[in-house]
Amino acid sequence: MKTTTSTVRAATLLAPRRLEVREYPYPESLEPGAVLLRMLASGICGTDKHTYRGETEQYLGTEYERSTPFPIIQGHENVGVVAEVGPGGAVAFDGMPLAAGDRVIPAPNRACGRCHMCSRGFPYYLCRNIENYGNSLTCAVAPHLFGGWSEYLYLKPGTAMFRVPEELPDEVAVLTEIFAVTHSLERAAAMRRPAGFRPGDTVAIIGAGPLGVAHAIKASLMGAGQVLVLDPSSKRRGLAARVADAVSIAPGDGAAAEVRGRCRGEGLDVVVNATGFPGAFAQATAIVRDGGTIIEVGAFVDMGDEAFNPAVICGRSLSLLGVGGEDLRCYEGTLALLARHHRHIAFDEIVSHRFAIEDAPAAMTTALDADVSAKVLIVPSSGPQ
């Protein structure tokens, strides 16, 4: 049912460090197959922090390397309720029609479905014509509402949408995207020995932000014998210890020795680098065992060069797995996993703060302080919490 409102409030990033709340016209009509989502919550991702600071070079080294087209409405970790569906209707990923009132998780990206990579069935983040909500779609162009830090989100035709199980709270459902990225561990599990991941293996996560904590939880659920988490923030390490039953280790000169002491001096089977900052990759190579696996999930944005000798990979027979995002085929399973475990795993503790749209600048300031925050949400109907 069409709302009676004529304007939509949205937090708008005009340029690096210029985040303002602006009003946009409520869409008068939707194109065929489009969906208008009334937002319930949207997370502040590490990529959003990079963009806010002006670190905007994404997909480095690919044919579709790009920089942020300011102004934008950020927000790609979203959960909302279908407000309107365009002419001809739209379907969820399960093939069933969507209707007003359906609570859904929209994919953060829209693939073209036609390029060489799409036609071969590769993960949609390898699409050569990919569009990213909250990242690559400027709000300077109508209908403007292409990010989740808004009262409404406009989803273009062909955007994948996933139904949220009725029992799953919004503050857990909004974590679906980061948990879908943990398909990295499932990919590692498909690798043959001596690399890969098997139940009983020792796993370390470098970086205990929400993405790192999600990987720690997933590794535990997949049967890791031991999960270690390294992060400068004692608050974030404590969060990982509580919700993922992880061992907290403060990085520093003695960290590598402590890690090796926990795995018979051989090093870890799998190391996940979820920091997004230079220097952590060298740390990963220092604690992984010979023949082990390093999973790189954090370096989506170009933060500068990092010196590394590739002879180390050959000499130590290391496997390196780079993951550019989540896989659409993992969403339904991820939602089922969250629904099954949310009553005995405190996923909601990953959310540390909630801010209303008008408080988005304060929300970003909080999100940038790793000593006080984990996952920060923009919630249209909520004040600071």
Give the DSSP letter of residue 100. T
Do the beta carbons of residue 231 and residue 251 sit within 8 Å?
Answer: yes
- Are the beta carbons of 335 and 326 closer than 8 angstroms? no
Q: What share of the chain is helix, strand, coil (3-state, %, to 5)?
A: 25, 25, 50
**Nearest to 367, CA basis, from 49, 47, 20:** 49
For 96-153, write each residue's pLDDT tens digit: 999 999 999 999 999 999 999 999 999 888 899 999 999 999 999 999 999 999 999 9
CA distance 288 to 202: 10
Q: Using alpha carbons only, give the angle 100, 106, 112 rounded to the nearest 5 degrees.
A: 115
Q: What pLDDT is recorded for position 63? A: 67
Predicted model pTM: 0.94
Q: What is the pLDDT of residues 155-184, one digit of tens each?
A: 999 999 999 999 999 999 999 999 999 999
- If pLDDT is split at 50, 70 and 90, which confidence band does 383 have? very low
d(CA 208, CA 22): 33
| pLDDT > 80? residue 224 | yes
Cα dihedral 184, 185, 189, 190 in deg (nearest 10): -10
Interior angle at CA 333, CA 327 and CA 336, nearest 5: 140
Q: Which amino acid is at 65?
A: E
> What is the chain's Cα-based Rg?
20
Cα separation of 242 and 237, whole Å?
9
Q: What is the pLDDT of residues 177-199, one digit of tens each?
A: 999 999 999 999 999 889 999 99
